[in-house]
Structure 1
Amino acid sequence: MVETQTRTGRDETQEERADRMWVELIQEVRVAQTGVQILFGFLLTVVFQQKYASLEHTDKTIYIVTVVLGAAATGALIGPVSLHRLVSGRKVKPQAVEWASRMTFVGLLLLLATMTSSLLLVLRVATHNGAVPWIVACVVAWYAVCWYVIPLWTRRRHTTS
Protein backbone atom coordinates (compact mmCIF):
# COMPACT_ATOMS: atom_id res chain seq x y z
CA MET A 1 0.00 0.00 0.00
CA VAL A 2 1.47 3.36 -1.07
CA GLU A 3 1.24 6.35 1.29
CA THR A 4 -0.75 9.08 -0.45
CA GLN A 5 -0.56 11.76 2.23
CA THR A 6 0.73 15.17 1.28
CA ARG A 7 4.30 15.88 2.36
CA THR A 8 5.62 19.25 3.48
CA GLY A 9 9.12 20.71 3.16
CA ARG A 10 9.94 18.99 6.44
CA ASP A 11 9.14 15.57 5.05
CA GLU A 12 6.43 14.93 7.62
CA THR A 13 2.94 13.51 7.32
CA GLN A 14 -0.14 15.61 8.00
CA GLU A 15 -0.43 14.00 11.43
CA GLU A 16 3.25 14.60 12.24
CA ARG A 17 2.90 18.21 11.14
CA ALA A 18 -0.22 18.65 13.28
CA ASP A 19 1.60 17.14 16.28
CA ARG A 20 4.57 19.48 15.80
CA MET A 21 2.37 22.53 15.28
CA TRP A 22 0.33 21.63 18.37
CA VAL A 23 3.44 21.46 20.55
CA GLU A 24 4.70 24.79 19.17
CA LEU A 25 1.31 26.44 19.68
CA ILE A 26 1.02 25.26 23.28
CA GLN A 27 4.51 26.61 24.05
CA GLU A 28 3.47 29.99 22.62
CA VAL A 29 0.20 29.97 24.55
CA ARG A 30 2.05 29.24 27.81
CA VAL A 31 3.94 32.52 27.50
CA ALA A 32 0.82 34.56 26.74
CA GLN A 33 -1.29 32.75 29.37
CA THR A 34 1.19 33.55 32.11
CA GLY A 35 1.17 37.23 31.24
CA VAL A 36 -2.59 37.56 30.94
CA GLN A 37 -3.24 35.55 34.11
CA ILE A 38 -0.86 37.70 36.18
CA LEU A 39 -2.37 40.89 34.76
CA PHE A 40 -5.92 39.63 35.26
CA GLY A 41 -5.17 38.55 38.83
CA PHE A 42 -3.78 41.98 39.60
CA LEU A 43 -6.81 43.65 38.04
CA LEU A 44 -9.16 41.62 40.21
CA THR A 45 -7.54 43.02 43.37
CA VAL A 46 -7.83 46.70 42.37
CA VAL A 47 -11.52 47.00 43.21
CA PHE A 48 -10.77 46.00 46.81
CA GLN A 49 -8.23 48.80 47.35
CA GLN A 50 -9.25 51.95 49.28
CA LYS A 51 -8.20 54.20 46.39
CA TYR A 52 -10.80 52.59 44.10
CA ALA A 53 -13.66 54.46 45.79
CA SER A 54 -12.05 57.80 44.99
CA LEU A 55 -11.53 57.10 41.28
CA GLU A 56 -13.34 59.28 38.78
CA HIS A 57 -16.29 57.76 36.91
CA THR A 58 -14.20 57.59 33.71
CA ASP A 59 -11.42 55.70 35.49
CA LYS A 60 -13.91 53.24 36.99
CA THR A 61 -15.36 52.67 33.51
CA ILE A 62 -11.88 52.08 32.09
CA TYR A 63 -11.24 49.63 34.94
CA ILE A 64 -14.44 47.67 34.27
CA VAL A 65 -13.68 47.49 30.54
CA THR A 66 -10.14 46.37 31.36
CA VAL A 67 -11.34 43.57 33.66
CA VAL A 68 -13.81 42.33 31.03
CA LEU A 69 -11.10 42.41 28.35
CA GLY A 70 -8.74 40.54 30.70
CA ALA A 71 -11.37 37.90 31.37
CA ALA A 72 -12.01 37.50 27.63
CA ALA A 73 -8.29 37.25 26.89
CA THR A 74 -7.87 34.65 29.62
CA GLY A 75 -10.72 32.61 28.17
CA ALA A 76 -9.36 32.76 24.63
CA LEU A 77 -5.82 31.83 25.69
CA ILE A 78 -6.99 28.92 27.87
CA GLY A 79 -9.40 27.78 25.15
CA PRO A 80 -6.82 25.75 23.20
CA VAL A 81 -6.18 23.57 26.26
CA SER A 82 -9.87 22.81 26.66
CA LEU A 83 -10.23 22.21 22.93
CA HIS A 84 -7.38 19.71 23.00
CA ARG A 85 -8.81 17.93 26.04
CA LEU A 86 -12.27 17.62 24.47
CA VAL A 87 -11.15 16.43 21.02
CA SER A 88 -8.10 14.39 22.01
CA GLY A 89 -8.15 10.94 20.42
CA ARG A 90 -10.85 11.87 17.91
CA LYS A 91 -8.45 12.09 14.92
CA VAL A 92 -9.09 15.81 14.35
CA LYS A 93 -5.73 17.22 15.38
CA PRO A 94 -5.19 19.28 12.18
CA GLN A 95 -8.57 20.95 12.70
CA ALA A 96 -7.90 21.37 16.43
CA VAL A 97 -4.59 23.07 15.66
CA GLU A 98 -6.34 25.42 13.26
CA TRP A 99 -9.03 26.37 15.77
CA ALA A 100 -6.55 26.64 18.65
CA SER A 101 -4.43 28.93 16.52
CA ARG A 102 -7.44 31.15 15.86
CA MET A 103 -8.30 31.27 19.56
CA THR A 104 -4.70 32.17 20.37
CA PHE A 105 -4.71 34.99 17.80
CA VAL A 106 -7.96 36.37 19.24
CA GLY A 107 -6.50 35.99 22.74
CA LEU A 108 -3.45 38.01 21.74
CA LEU A 109 -5.66 40.76 20.31
CA LEU A 110 -7.66 40.79 23.55
CA LEU A 111 -4.42 40.82 25.55
CA LEU A 112 -3.29 43.84 23.52
CA ALA A 113 -6.58 45.58 24.34
CA THR A 114 -6.27 44.62 28.03
CA MET A 115 -2.73 45.92 28.27
CA THR A 116 -3.71 49.11 26.46
CA SER A 117 -6.60 49.86 28.79
CA SER A 118 -4.53 48.85 31.85
CA LEU A 119 -1.77 51.23 30.85
CA LEU A 120 -4.29 53.98 30.17
CA LEU A 121 -5.87 53.52 33.60
CA VAL A 122 -2.61 53.35 35.51
CA LEU A 123 -1.09 56.38 33.78
CA ARG A 124 -4.30 58.42 34.15
CA VAL A 125 -4.46 57.71 37.89
CA ALA A 126 -0.72 58.08 38.46
CA THR A 127 -0.04 61.24 36.47
CA HIS A 128 -3.23 63.12 35.54
CA ASN A 129 -1.19 64.25 32.53
CA GLY A 130 -2.66 65.23 29.17
CA ALA A 131 0.15 63.34 27.45
CA VAL A 132 -1.16 59.97 28.70
CA PRO A 133 -3.10 59.13 25.52
CA TRP A 134 0.01 59.84 23.44
CA ILE A 135 2.18 57.70 25.69
CA VAL A 136 -0.34 54.86 25.51
CA ALA A 137 -0.54 55.23 21.71
CA CYS A 138 3.25 54.96 21.45
CA VAL A 139 3.33 51.82 23.62
CA VAL A 140 0.48 50.25 21.62
CA ALA A 141 2.33 51.07 18.40
CA TRP A 142 5.39 49.33 19.84
CA TYR A 143 3.31 46.26 20.72
CA ALA A 144 1.85 46.27 17.21
CA VAL A 145 5.33 46.39 15.68
CA CYS A 146 6.63 43.57 17.90
CA TRP A 147 3.54 41.36 17.80
CA TYR A 148 2.24 41.86 14.26
CA VAL A 149 4.34 44.02 11.91
CA ILE A 150 7.67 42.20 12.31
CA PRO A 151 6.12 38.71 12.26
CA LEU A 152 3.99 39.53 9.19
CA TRP A 153 6.93 41.17 7.44
CA THR A 154 9.10 38.14 8.22
CA ARG A 155 6.42 35.78 6.97
CA ARG A 156 6.00 37.71 3.74
CA ARG A 157 9.71 38.16 3.12
CA HIS A 158 10.85 34.65 3.96
CA THR A 159 7.96 32.40 2.95
CA THR A 160 8.98 30.26 0.00
CA SER A 161 5.68 28.65 -0.92
Structure 2
Amino acid sequence: MTDSGDVRPWGRDETPEERADRRWGDVIQEVRVAQTGVQILFGFLLTVVFTPRFVELGDTDRTIYVVTVLLGSAATGALIGPVSFHRIVSGRRIKPQAVVWASRLTLAGLVLLLGTLTSALLLILRVATDNTLVPWLVAGVVAWYLLCWFVLPAWARHRHTTPD
Protein backbone atom coordinates (compact mmCIF):
# COMPACT_ATOMS: atom_id res chain seq x y z
CA MET A 1 0.00 0.00 0.00
CA THR A 2 1.14 3.52 -0.64
CA ASP A 3 1.16 6.34 1.92
CA SER A 4 -2.33 7.27 0.70
CA GLY A 5 -3.59 3.73 1.40
CA ASP A 6 -3.92 2.73 -2.26
CA VAL A 7 -2.78 -0.69 -3.34
CA ARG A 8 0.09 -0.49 -5.82
CA PRO A 9 -0.88 -1.75 -9.27
CA TRP A 10 1.85 -4.39 -9.35
CA GLY A 11 0.76 -6.09 -6.13
CA ARG A 12 3.88 -5.48 -4.05
CA ASP A 13 4.66 -2.81 -1.53
CA GLU A 14 7.74 -1.47 -3.30
CA THR A 15 8.83 1.77 -4.87
CA PRO A 16 9.46 1.93 -8.62
CA GLU A 17 13.19 1.82 -7.88
CA GLU A 18 12.79 -1.25 -5.66
CA ARG A 19 10.69 -2.89 -8.35
CA ALA A 20 13.35 -2.16 -10.98
CA ASP A 21 16.03 -3.62 -8.69
CA ARG A 22 13.98 -6.77 -8.13
CA ARG A 23 13.19 -7.16 -11.81
CA TRP A 24 16.84 -6.58 -12.70
CA GLY A 25 17.85 -9.38 -10.32
CA ASP A 26 15.27 -11.65 -11.95
CA VAL A 27 16.56 -10.92 -15.44
CA ILE A 28 20.18 -11.51 -14.44
CA GLN A 29 19.30 -14.87 -12.85
CA GLU A 30 17.46 -15.90 -16.02
CA VAL A 31 20.38 -14.80 -18.18
CA ARG A 32 22.84 -16.81 -16.05
CA VAL A 33 20.95 -20.02 -16.77
CA ALA A 34 20.58 -19.47 -20.51
CA GLN A 35 24.04 -17.97 -20.92
CA THR A 36 25.81 -20.98 -19.44
CA GLY A 37 24.09 -23.35 -21.85
CA VAL A 38 24.65 -21.22 -24.93
CA GLN A 39 28.31 -20.64 -24.08
CA ILE A 40 29.00 -24.35 -23.63
CA LEU A 41 27.20 -25.17 -26.89
CA PHE A 42 28.94 -22.33 -28.75
CA GLY A 43 32.36 -23.42 -27.45
CA PHE A 44 31.68 -26.95 -28.64
CA LEU A 45 30.54 -25.67 -32.05
CA LEU A 46 33.74 -23.70 -32.48
CA THR A 47 35.83 -26.87 -32.11
CA VAL A 48 33.86 -28.95 -34.62
CA VAL A 49 35.49 -27.32 -37.64
CA PHE A 50 38.89 -28.61 -36.45
CA THR A 51 37.89 -32.28 -36.24
CA PRO A 52 38.88 -34.77 -38.95
CA ARG A 53 35.23 -35.61 -39.66
CA PHE A 54 34.39 -32.02 -40.63
CA VAL A 55 36.17 -32.31 -43.99
CA GLU A 56 33.83 -35.21 -44.85
CA LEU A 57 30.69 -33.11 -44.51
CA GLY A 58 28.78 -32.26 -47.66
CA ASP A 59 27.86 -28.75 -48.71
CA THR A 60 24.42 -28.89 -47.05
CA ASP A 61 25.86 -30.00 -43.72
CA ARG A 62 28.60 -27.36 -43.88
CA THR A 63 25.92 -24.72 -44.52
CA ILE A 64 23.92 -25.99 -41.55
CA TYR A 65 27.10 -25.81 -39.47
CA VAL A 66 27.81 -22.21 -40.51
CA VAL A 67 24.21 -21.20 -39.77
CA THR A 68 24.45 -22.93 -36.38
CA VAL A 69 27.67 -21.10 -35.49
CA LEU A 70 26.20 -17.75 -36.55
CA LEU A 71 23.03 -18.35 -34.53
CA GLY A 72 25.10 -19.45 -31.52
CA SER A 73 27.24 -16.34 -31.80
CA ALA A 74 24.16 -14.11 -32.04
CA ALA A 75 22.53 -15.88 -29.07
CA THR A 76 25.70 -15.42 -27.03
CA GLY A 77 25.75 -11.72 -27.88
CA ALA A 78 22.10 -11.23 -26.98
CA LEU A 79 22.43 -13.10 -23.68
CA ILE A 80 25.59 -11.22 -22.68
CA GLY A 81 23.98 -7.95 -23.80
CA PRO A 82 22.12 -7.27 -20.52
CA VAL A 83 25.40 -7.32 -18.58
CA SER A 84 27.03 -4.84 -20.93
CA PHE A 85 23.87 -2.73 -21.02
CA HIS A 86 23.81 -2.53 -17.23
CA ARG A 87 27.48 -1.65 -17.01
CA ILE A 88 27.20 1.16 -19.57
CA VAL A 89 24.06 2.75 -18.11
CA SER A 90 24.82 2.10 -14.44
CA GLY A 91 24.42 5.23 -12.31
CA ARG A 92 22.31 7.03 -14.92
CA ARG A 93 19.04 6.47 -13.00
CA ILE A 94 17.40 4.60 -15.87
CA LYS A 95 17.18 1.15 -14.32
CA PRO A 96 13.48 0.68 -15.23
CA GLN A 97 14.34 1.29 -18.88
CA ALA A 98 17.45 -0.89 -18.58
CA VAL A 99 15.27 -3.72 -17.26
CA VAL A 100 13.00 -3.42 -20.29
CA TRP A 101 15.93 -3.56 -22.71
CA ALA A 102 17.60 -6.40 -20.80
CA SER A 103 14.35 -8.35 -20.93
CA ARG A 104 14.12 -7.79 -24.69
CA LEU A 105 17.71 -8.90 -25.21
CA THR A 106 17.08 -11.99 -23.08
CA LEU A 107 14.00 -12.93 -25.09
CA ALA A 108 15.89 -12.37 -28.34
CA GLY A 109 18.70 -14.54 -26.96
CA LEU A 110 16.24 -17.32 -26.15
CA VAL A 111 14.79 -17.20 -29.66
CA LEU A 112 18.30 -17.31 -31.12
CA LEU A 113 19.18 -20.15 -28.76
CA LEU A 114 16.13 -22.02 -30.05
CA GLY A 115 17.47 -21.57 -33.58
CA THR A 116 20.96 -22.65 -32.50
CA LEU A 117 19.71 -25.80 -30.81
CA THR A 118 17.45 -26.61 -33.75
CA SER A 119 20.17 -26.28 -36.35
CA ALA A 120 22.74 -28.10 -34.16
CA LEU A 121 20.28 -30.94 -33.66
CA LEU A 122 19.56 -31.01 -37.38
CA LEU A 123 23.26 -31.27 -38.20
CA ILE A 124 24.02 -33.90 -35.59
CA LEU A 125 21.06 -36.08 -36.52
CA ARG A 126 21.83 -35.77 -40.25
CA VAL A 127 25.32 -37.12 -39.57
CA ALA A 128 24.26 -39.74 -37.01
CA THR A 129 20.99 -41.21 -38.36
CA ASP A 130 18.91 -42.04 -41.39
CA ASN A 131 18.01 -38.76 -43.11
CA THR A 132 14.36 -39.71 -43.55
CA LEU A 133 13.82 -39.55 -39.79
CA VAL A 134 15.69 -36.34 -39.15
CA PRO A 135 12.96 -33.79 -40.01
CA TRP A 136 10.48 -35.61 -37.79
CA LEU A 137 12.88 -35.91 -34.87
CA VAL A 138 13.92 -32.26 -35.10
CA ALA A 139 10.29 -31.12 -35.44
CA GLY A 140 9.37 -33.09 -32.32
CA VAL A 141 12.16 -31.58 -30.25
CA VAL A 142 11.44 -28.06 -31.53
CA ALA A 143 7.77 -28.53 -30.63
CA TRP A 144 8.90 -29.52 -27.13
CA TYR A 145 11.13 -26.44 -26.84
CA LEU A 146 8.30 -24.20 -28.02
CA LEU A 147 5.92 -25.77 -25.53
CA CYS A 148 8.32 -25.45 -22.58
CA TRP A 149 9.79 -22.05 -23.39
CA PHE A 150 6.89 -20.12 -24.88
CA VAL A 151 3.50 -21.85 -24.98
CA LEU A 152 3.25 -22.88 -21.31
CA PRO A 153 4.47 -19.51 -19.99
CA ALA A 154 2.11 -17.65 -22.34
CA TRP A 155 -0.77 -19.90 -21.28
CA ALA A 156 0.01 -19.37 -17.58
CA ARG A 157 0.33 -15.62 -18.10
CA HIS A 158 -3.01 -15.50 -19.87
CA ARG A 159 -4.76 -17.80 -17.40
CA HIS A 160 -3.46 -16.20 -14.22
CA THR A 161 -3.46 -12.54 -15.17
CA THR A 162 -6.49 -10.67 -14.02
CA PRO A 163 -7.85 -7.99 -16.32
CA ASP A 164 -7.31 -4.39 -15.18
Identify whether the pair has TM-score above 0.5, normalized to the shorter chain.
yes
Alignment of 1:105-120 (within 5 A): 105-120=107-122
Q: In structure 2, which of residues 125, 128, 133 is the aligned counterpart of residue 126 of structure 1? A: 128
Q: Distance in 1 between matches of 2:13 and 2:153?
A: 24
1:22 is aligned to 24
1:155 is aligned to 157
Q: How many residues align?
A: 159
User: What is the Cα deviation at residue 3 of structure 1?
Assistant: 7.0
User: What is the Cα deviation at residue 127 of structure 1?
Assistant: 1.1
5+ residue gaps, structure 1 = none
Counterpart amino acid of 2:53?
Answer: K
2:63 is aligned to 61
Paired-residue identity, %? 70
The 3-state SS of whatever aligns with 1:109 is: helix
User: What is the Cα deviation at residue 159 of structure 1?
Assistant: 1.1
1:41 is aligned to 43
What is the TM-score of this pair, normalised by structure 2? Answer: 0.93
The 3-state SS of whatever aligns with 1:83 is: helix
Q: In structure 2, which of residues 69, 72, 75 is the aligned counterpart of residue 70 of structure 1? A: 72
What is the TM-score of this pair, normalised by structure 1? Answer: 0.95
5+ residue gaps, structure 2 = none
What do you get for the CA RMSD once the two structures are aligned?
Answer: 1.5
Moved over 6 A (4+): none
1:140 is aligned to 142
